[in-house]
Structure 1
Amino acid sequence: MLPQRAVFWAEEKALILSDLHLGKTAHFRKSGIAVPAGIMQEDLFRLQRLITHYMPERLIIVGDMFHSVENNEVQFFRVWRQQFSNVSFDLVRGNHDIMADEVYEQLQINVHNTFSLRDIHFVHEPDGSRNGFRYTFSGHLHPAFVMQGAGKQRLRLPCFYFGPHCGILPAFGDFTGSASLDPGESDPVFVIAGKSIIRAQ
């Protein structure tokens, strides 16, 4: 697990992440909603540093890589993608990944409804089923966990959640929001606090 909201699977040289929602800020601005510029560029710069550091052969994006239809931020990604032409991008289609198939082909992104590697299964929305696989990774929920201090202060932080059969990844994108989890007492939860990962339970 990485504090940049991703997982690096060293044996497979695979970087795993979810819910970038690229193009969301442009989509909002087009609708007349004031959103600060540069959010997507910062997300891609963070991803660029991860790729440069870990040198993966493959990126597995567990859904919602893009937010909506093609816009100028997608064109920015098209240029950004060229520097990593040797890295395979495998996208598990999420509910927001609605661009035409030929756009993904032009961006050199392999799109799947579900994706499996070894005995690990990747699907965007967690459904609790094992589908014959040992473990499933999903996204979609943008999970967060509420930490409580001795003085009754509360802080909600993005987290990695690992249930008995399914793990849920935090949203990689900064402009995504989050939803608080209510995990079982024995389910491991790891919160992201700045540059650290802390086991919350």
Structure 2
Amino acid sequence: MSGIASVASTTSFATVKVASEVWLDSRLALWHESQRWLAVSDLHFGYELNRNRHGGLYPLWGMDTVEHRMRELITHYQPARVILVGDVMDGSGSVDETLTLVERLSQMCELICIMGNHDAPVLRRKSGFVESHMEEGFYFHHGHRMAEMYGWLAPEERHCIHITGHLHPAHIFSDGAGLRLKMPAFMQARFDFPGDGAETSPECWVLPAFSPWASGARIPKTNDGTQLYAVHRTRIMRVTDAPVRSD
């Protein structure tokens, strides 16, 4: 399913094609080779600062890790646009640090920042965060207001694939004897909205969380046809037993 490429002597990663011209990168990013956008979600920048404000004792390495990995991706792909699909920051305790990150990454390429449920309103006023973003055939929003955002689309736009985050999808491998391994995951599924009818169920791709602090959560049950890819640093595995709706 994936090939391993080397971007530097010490850095290896895997990629797998998940749709025409769209590649999942094991560095937790999605790349469109002709439209030349790169999408990541749920950086939760400043997670450790936010937790330490509430009495935690978290080491301050996560923010450096996030910025380094983002720079590595941008340097490798040279995208026309980087789309941060919400929850760029973790909480109000890291506004200044997040604004600094956005400024630095914006010097490398065009940066589109989408508001997530963790992003403080001050970011909209200071950095031009947006509710959603459109590319040809793709509709980007964070995913915490799925039905509402779908309702914003014009009828002729409702065929677009939604690209979201928010769920922090993960898959747990188990040997049945107590050994469990949780890995971040990329999910392709359709979500039904009550009363809308099957013909309006949009296709949605849910990005894995980019934050090194996000362990991920088991994905919700969805329609038949769900595709799930478990992501390791140097390998991407298509999971064949993704849960599906049983009702």
Superposition TM-score tier, normalisation by shorter sequence: 0.7 to 0.9
TM-score normalised by length of structure 2: 0.71
Deviation at 1:144, TM superposition (A): 0.4
More RCO (CA 8 Å, sep 6+): 1
Change (3 A) 1:135 1:94: same
Return the alpha-carbon distance in structure 2 between the equivalents of residues 73 and 39 of structure 1: 16
User: Sequence identity of aligned pairs in percent?
Assistant: 24
Structure 2: runs of 5+ lacking an equivalent? 1-23, 191-202, 241-247
Is residue 2:129 matched to residue 1:111? yes
Change (3 A) 1:133 1:29: same
- Number of the residue aligned with 1:186: 225
Deviation at 1:46, TM superposition (A): 0.8
Is residue 2:124 matched to residue 1:85? no
Deviation at 1:133, TM superposition (A): 3.1
Looking at CA atoms only, which structure, 1 or 2, has the larger radius of gyration?
A: 2
Structure 1: runs of 5+ lacking an equivalent? 105-109
**Superposed structure 1 runs of 4+ greater than 6 Å apart:** none
Deviation at 1:156, TM superposition (A): 1.6
Deviation at 1:83, TM superposition (A): 6.1
Is residue 2:70 matched to residue 1:47? yes
Q: Per-residue displacement from partner, 1:63-100 (whole Å, max 9, x unpaired)? A: 1001122537616x626743651511111210111141
> Counterparts in 2 of 1:52-63, with a 5 A limit?
52-63=75-86
Contact kept, 8 Å, 1:21 with 1:67, in 2: the verdict is yes
- Number of the residue aligned with 1:125: 143
Read off the aligned partner of 2:112 and give its amino acid letter.
Answer: D
CA-atom RMSD in angstroms: 2.4
- Number of the residue aligned with 1:18: 41
Q: What is the total number of aligned residue pairs between the two structures?
A: 195
> Counterparts in 2 of 1:138-149, with a 5 A limit?
138-149=164-175
- Number of the residue aligned with 1:107: none
* SS of corresponding position for 1:167: strand
Contact kept, 8 Å, 2:87 with 2:119, in 1: the verdict is yes
Return the alpha-carbon distance in structure 1 between the equivalents of residues 172 and 220 of structure 2: 9
